[in-house]
Amino acid sequence: MIDEIRVLAGDAVARARAAGTLDDLRALEAEVVGKKGALAGFKRRMGSLDPDQRRHVGQALNAAQWEVADALGARRDELDQAGRRSRLERERLDLTEVRAGRDAGHIHLVAQVIEELEDTFVGLGFRVAEGPEVEDDWHNFSALNFGEHHPARDMQDTFFVDLGAPGEVVLRTHTSPVQVRVMECQPPPIYTVMPGRVYRNEAADATHLAVFHQLECLVVDRGITFGHMAGTIDMFTKAFFGEGFSTRLRPSYFPFTEPSAEVDVRRPDGSWLELGGCGMVHPNVLANCGIDPEEWSGFAFGFGLDRLAATRHGITDLRDFLSTDVRVLEQF
């Protein structure tokens, strides 16, 4: 019996070394060392042997088991490595190569959207402004009428920067602080858009990122009404998405606008996308920025640009924007 076991093991080791695929290895493993394999068959036959023979046969079976398992493992590693090498070879990208007749790259989809929106609004007579991404509490919250302990501060999960007094410096959670900066340094009339990157301490999923982009729009002038705002938003939506898209406003709450609304865009297939918030600039905010709310009124809106770009290109998961996979990026 011991000789039979040795022959079986020697044969299995030779077959393992010669195996051409992982499937062949799996089949061999089942045939020899698996629960119903040949070695298990010998184990079952051991019951009829006397104790001394049983010990010898047991040792031979153990040795055979190890020997075959080692050979299977070694060949599996070799085949794995060969598979990885050939996959890398297949997917190899020569990034130093400029391919004739093809562009070497293009602007990121969200950056394309920002450029296009800036053009649309500049065409309507708006200016473009920018503000810092690391903000103080005054611009990100207090000047925007978020009371010190106001629960609305929790609406936006904030990343705090370890600088100055605790809680004093933040990564801006929205582009609305740029409204404050614009109003602080220029008298009305104001017609300005403010694109930029914003940060929230949120887990990323198909519709949320921790770092995303917004476009803020601020108008302050005499006699500005909610109707001007609704008209501007609808006009912009048609200009950006084309006919077939429309908007609706739903009542909402933001401390810095009153009344406030949520803007949804209706896609041609009838589905809705939440695009952003809007409202009439709160009189306290105008006053905080040194503008007389008796004389001036205004509206503001803030749109999520990543969702906007995704809708436009039929992308269903915002995390694809962070992809570095050329097969994803090349499609746009």
Scanning 60-68, 182-190, 272-280, 321-329 for contacts with ligand FA5 by CB under 6 A, the matching segment is 272-280
CB of 209 to ligand FA5, least distance (A): 4
**Residue 264 CB, nearest approach to ligand FA5 (Å):** 9
Residue type, 289: C
Give the full edge-to-edge strand order of the sheet including 169-171.
134-136, 169-171, 160-161
Number of C-beta neighbours around residue 217 at 10 A:
25
Q: Which residue has the CB atom at the shortest distance from ligand FA5?
A: 304
15 lies in the binding site for ligand FA5 (CB under 6 A): no
| CA angle in degrees (0–180, nearest 5) for 6-7-13 | 90
> Which of 158, 176, 237, 247 lies at the binding interface for ligand FA5 (CB under 6 A)?
176
Supply the minimum distance, in Å, between the C-beta of residue 252 and ligand FA5: 8
Which of 186/207 has CB closer to ligand FA5? 207
255 binds ligand FA5 (CB under 6 A): no
Nearest CA to 136 among 171, 184, 87, 91? 171
Taking CB under 6 A as the criterion, the residue among 146, 307, 310, 315 binding ligand FA5 is 307
Q: In Å, how far from its chain's centre is CA 109?
A: 14
Indicate the residue among 37 and 276 with the shorter CB distance to ligand FA5.
Answer: 276
Under the binding rule (CB under 6 A), the answer on residue 247 touching ligand FA5 is no
Q: How is residue 309 written in tokens? A: 């770009």
C-beta of 78: minimal distance to ligand FA5 in Å? 46
274 binding ligand FA5? (CB under 6 A): yes
CB of 162 to ligand FA5, least distance (A): 23
User: Are the beta carbons of 62 and 11 closer than 8 angstroms?
Assistant: no
Interface residue with ligand FA5, options 276, 291, 309, 310 (CB under 6 A): 276
Task: Give the footprint of ligand FA5 on residues 199-238 (CB under 6 A).
Answer: 200, 202, 208-209, 212, 214, 216
39: its two tokens: 């070695």
Short-list 26, 25, 27, 31, CA closest to 8: 31
Choosing from 42, 236, 241, 254, the residue that interacts with ligand FA5 (CB under 6 A) is: 254
> What's the DSSP call for residue 205?
B
Neighbours of 57 (CB within 10 A): 19
String of DSSP letters for 47-70 = GGS-HHHHHHHHHHHHHHHHHHHH
Q: Nearest approach, Cβ of 231 to ligand FA5 (angstroms)?
A: 16
- Which of 167, 189, 184 is CA-nearest to residue 131? 184
**Which CB sits closer to ligand FA5, 13 or 229?**
229
| H-run or E-run covering 272 | strand 272-281
- Where along the sequence are the contacts to ligand FA5 (CB under 6 A)? 156, 174, 176, 200, 202, 208-209, 212, 214, 216, 254, 257, 260, 274-279, 300-302, 304, 306-307, 318
